[in-house]
Each structure stands twice: as C-alpha cells, then as structure tokens.
Chains A and B, each alone.
Chain A
Amino acid sequence: MAKVKYKSVSKNLEKITKPSDNTDSRSSIGQSITITEYYELDISRLIPFKNQAREAFSDQEIQSLSQSIIRHGIRQPLTVIKSEVQGKYEVVSGERRLRASVLAGLKKVPCIIIEDSSMSEEIAVVENIMRTDLHPLELSKAFCSLLENNKNLKQKEVASRIGVSESFFSEILKYNTLPSDVKRILLEKNIKERDFFRKLLRTNNPMSLLNETFFSPSKKNQSSNVNVLRVFIKDGEIKVQSGGLINLTHEQKNLIKIELSNLLY
C-alpha cells in the first residue's frame, strides 16, 4: 500500500491514548468475582518488609490502634508484595496495622497485593511520608536506600518520583551522616525538630550539643530571664506591671528593694 504517514501526537491525544504502566491492582474486567481488588490474607503469612523504613514502633500507639481495629476493623488494606520466602508476603505498608491486628487477635487482614516488586520500596516511602509521623531519621534511611537502589537516577529524579522537593530530599538525606549514637538517642527520645537537626549538622560535636540542649539539668535556670517588674510612663502617668513579683521568695524581694532604692536615690 501507499506509505503510511505519521504525524506527531498532540498532548490531547496522548492524554487519552498513552498506556499506563500496569501497576494498579484492578482486576481484569468481568473477573471481579474471582479476582478481587484486595485479599484477606492469613496473618501467619505476613512478614515485615525487608526494607522497612520505620524503626520505632511505640507500644502505646499500637495498643490504641488495636483498640480502634477491634471497634471498627481495618479501614484500609495493607499493601503487600510476594516474598522470596515461599508462601509469605512482605508488608510494604501497614506494619503498625499488622502489629495492632495481631494484638487485636485478628486471624486475617485485608491486603492489596502489588505485582511489581520493584515499585514496593517507593510505595513504602510514599505511603509513609504522606503521613507525617515517620521520624526524620527513618525517612533519611529510606531515602538513602531508595537512592542506593536507583543508582541510575539522579537525586532530583528520585525526589520527584516520590513527590518531594529536591531541597527537602537532600536535607533529609544529610541526617543519615550523623553519628550513630546521636541517631539512636534522637530516635529514642523522639526528637524531630528540624531547627535542631540543622544545628546538629553544623556543629563539630553533635553529641555534646545534644546533651547540652536536652539533658543538662541546669539548662533551664541558666538561660531563662524572668520578668518581675515593669514600669511605664505614659502622658505623665505611671503604670506598673508587677505580676512577676508573686513567685519571688522573700529574699529576692528584698534584693529588688535594695536595687531599686540604689537606682532612684
């Protein structure tokens, strides 16, 4: 036949014709009776994800989650992938739900099975950072291993794939360079202020800064200036705020008296 002519594809046409990568778990049309969007998997078949980002599991939180599971059931299925271990599934996201379910005495939990295991780590990170309760250090570790597993990608590309800005990504990534004993304490004490992390990165001795800031007993008295008395003059009228005086001891009041009389005469 006559040669076929090709034209470049417009944005609009591309939008409706470009095949999507088959990562969604919707079953083939008409098969929804036999193949469901999620499966009730036996708890004994579920094991933690080998690249689990979350390290700290608070017993108290799990306890309360388990209470809510007893009352309401699991509202959102866990995401799992087939494990290399025969017959087992790794929990990509939802390990807290799993632990809580065990505590709640459930035998089976709803799970979405992801076919493409190469996506699993990305999904695990994305699911967790969309909730804000992942510790910055856990996040940092997860970012590191993501970068490690995608050596062909630039930092910028990895960041955009999980939907965070490059600057955020690189900052979080730096936390991983902190000494391991510092990291351990930060995780244990659940210290996650971003300002403080920045200070830690700048200083030469992060351990001492950590100790000074959080664990030095005299810290509070040293640094705080307490206002005890304020005197204002407005239009020849004197105004006094003396609320701070109430908490003072007798000796302190005497000291102030002396100080004031020295100033005024």
Chain B
Amino acid sequence: MKIKGYKNFGVTQKIMSELAGVNPSTISKIVSAGDYFPIDTNVHRNIRYSITDTRRIIKKVSKDFSGKKSNMCFYNFKGGVGKTSLCFQVSSHLALMGYSVLAIDGDPQGHLTTSFGFDTDGKFLTLYDVIARNVPIDEAIVNIYEGLDCLPSNIALTRLEPALNELPKREERISIALSSIQNNYDFIIFDTNPTISHINRNIISFTDLINVVVETQAYSLNGLKILVSDLEKFFKSMVMKKPELLIIPNKYEERTAASGEAMGVLREYYSEFLMPDFAIRKSEEFNTSAKNAEPLAFFCRSNSIAFEDLNEVIKYILDKVSHKNSSRPRREEEKISGES
C-alpha cells in the first residue's frame, strides 16, 4: 500500500499562532529559544516547520491543552454537504495541534481515505475486517503523520451492513471493537456516509458529539428536520443518553438571499445546537485541499477565510468537549417501552 508522505510538509509561525490561539510573537519567541529548524532552508518568506515541531510548539503555548477527549462524528443523511471535507480538516488540524487523533472512514466511498492520500487502488483493511472478520484493530490502523492515524475505507465496507445484521448487539459493534484502543487517542473521529444504516447507528451510538454539517439551502434544512427527529427517536428507543449535537452550517454565501433565509431557519428552530452567528463560508480552498490531500494549514495563506472558519469550528469543538469526561456506556436504566 502506498500513501502520500507528509515529510516535506510544514506549518508557518502565523498559522501556528492561529491554531494555538496566541499572538504570533509568542510563537516567534518559542521558536527562537528552542531547537526548531525550518524544513526548507532555502526560502526566506513563509518559513515552515515540520509536523513534529508544530505539535511541540502549539502544545507548549496553548492553554488548557490536556483533558480534552471526545469521540465524535460528522453526520448527516443528506449528501454533499461537506461532512468529509470538514472531517478531514478537523482531524488533521487537531493532530497538528498536538492531540492524538484517530480518523475512521465510515463511508464505503472512501473519500476521507482519499483525502489522507491513500492510493485508491491500494489494498488495505477496513472497519469491515475489524468488525466482521475479527482482525485486530491495530493491524488495520495506518499512521498518516505524527498524531494522526486513520482507519481507511473502500467499497468493501458495504459488506459490513449485512454482516452487522447477523451479529448480536448490532448497534454497539463499533463501541465493542474500539474499546481496546479507546485510551490511545484524544479524539476518535468518524466520517459517515449519507444514509441511515446500521453502520451509522453504530457510529452515533459510539460518539459523544455528533457534528451535523448542513448546507445553507432548502433541501438540506428539510433533511435536518428529518434527521433531528430521527435522532431523538433512535436514542429514546436505545434507552441511551443523547450525545451532544452541533449543527454546522456550511457553504454559506453572504451575498445570496437563500443563505440568509437558511440561517434564519436555523436560528429559529435549532439555536440550541448552533455556534452563535457562525457559518462556514463557501470557499474553493476546501476543494483544493481535498483534491491535493493537503490539510489547509500546509498551504493556505494567512488570510484564508476557509482556515479562519475552520479554526473557529475547531476552537468551538474543543471548548465543548473540554474537561468533559466522556462517560460511556451511556445506557440509562432499562425502561420497557412496550412488548413486541
């Protein structure tokens, strides 16, 4: 299996300061005081530092770094809203910030896998092998760069759905399979495919934060209405505590009336799940980033709006999960809701 190496990729001091949420001069001081060296000594502007250095520097300067831990997913059964793009960015940047991240591709289309630079024709193990064929999970996990691991996916994952039906506790197979590595990571992040399937049921049962990415347009909002009500019913019937829900409006266009109206709908009905007055603006950089399999921080300019919005999402998520000990399993007392 051949995957893209990230040996020559790095992050500038400016971007580091943004990620760490500190002043650029703070970063500058740390860099000049420590033994950090630029990856390419020939350039004089936009000097970049290696992934390892970036992680060390940011870890050093950011406040309340430790104690953050979450299993989350990017979920929606409406397709094309930007789940994979955002999942890719959030997981890769959390790793750059010094956290230990496992990104799991739960979509047989394998686009998250592609984003991480996997060769699409390559042979690798997926969640299917782990759950249905009892392959030890460490064998399936692939390291992308320091702090970032990936459990990739390809079309073979479609076989997991019927296999799940045969297994006992079919809504909890992922929780069972991941229990052995749960403590190796700060963040376990799932990308999902846009369906309501047993795979996705497994994923949302496992996570404590569900990031619902929505487009700021009518169909997407209609889908959201169905999704939220379905989630409600699912967790009720599973007798589980509902995970936190974060609705992230995406592809917002300031100039269009439709976007403004969509934000109006979101504020009206879902304000409890929203970041206040926030939406990710539509930007070509997300597409470029996915196409080249390069997280934004590796190439974006310091005034990139895509990076600015992404950074805001990451900060919000970190704030949401901070010091919250994820208490799994979430099963509440058994209540019988009727005979079958």
Contact = CB atoms under 8 A, between A and B. Distances in A.
Interface in A1-37: 1-10, 13-14, 16-20, 22, 26-31, 34-36
A17 B305 contact: no
A61 interface: no
A41 interface: yes
Given A2-B254, A13-B221, A35-B237, A41 B312 contact: no
Interface stretch (B130-138, B275-283, B284-292): B275-283
Residue of B197, B218, B312 ringed by the most chain A CB atoms within 10 A: B218
A1 B312 CA distance: 8
A50 B295 CA distance: 62
A17 B263 contact: no
B308 A1 contact: yes
B339 A1 contact: no
B237 to A, nearest CB: 5
Contact of A13 (B201, B234, B261, B338): B261
Contacts of A28: 230, 233-234, 237
Contacts of B281: 1-2
Contacts of A16: 218, 221-222, 225
Interface stretch (B12-20, B120-128, B264-272): B264-272
Contacts of B262: 13
Given A14-B265, A27-B233, A29-B230, A5 B218 contact: no
A5 B338 CA distance: 47
State the main secondary structure of chain B at its contact with A: helix
B309 A1 contact: yes
Contacts of B237: 27-28, 31, 34-35
B265 A13 contact: yes
B257 interface: yes
B196 interface: yes
B277 A41 contact: no
A6 B221 contact: no
B119 interface: no
A17 B269 contact: yes
A68 B311 CA distance: 67
A36 B234 CA distance: 13
Nearest to A89: B338
Interface string B212-229: 000000100110110011
A40 interface: yes
A39 interface: yes
B260 A6 contact: yes
A153 to B, nearest CB: 23
A39 B265 contact: no
B204 to A, nearest CB: 11
A8 B197 CA distance: 35
B340 interface: yes
Residue of A3, A13, A39 ringed by the most chain B CB atoms within 10 A: A13
A146 interface: no
A16 B223 CA distance: 9
B254 A22 contact: no
Contacts of A115: 236
B338 A113 contact: yes
A30 B339 contact: no
B41 interface: no
Interface of B: 196-198, 201, 218, 221-222, 224-225, 228-230, 232-234, 236-237, 252, 254, 257, 259-265, 267-269, 277-279, 281, 305, 308-309, 312, 337-340
Nearest first, the 7 closest Cβ-Cβ pairs linking A and B are A7-B260, A28-B233, A28-B234, A17-B221, A39-B338, A7-B261, A16-B222
8 contacts: A1-B312, A6-B263, A17-B218, A19-B225, A28-B237, A39-B338, A39-B340, A113-B338
Given A1-B309, A7-B261, 20 more contacts: A2-B254, A3-B277, A4-B263, A5-B259, A5-B263, A6-B263, A7-B257, A9-B261, A9-B264, A10-B261, A13-B262, A13-B265, A16-B221, A27-B237, A28-B233, A31-B234, A34-B340, A35-B237, A42-B339, A113-B338
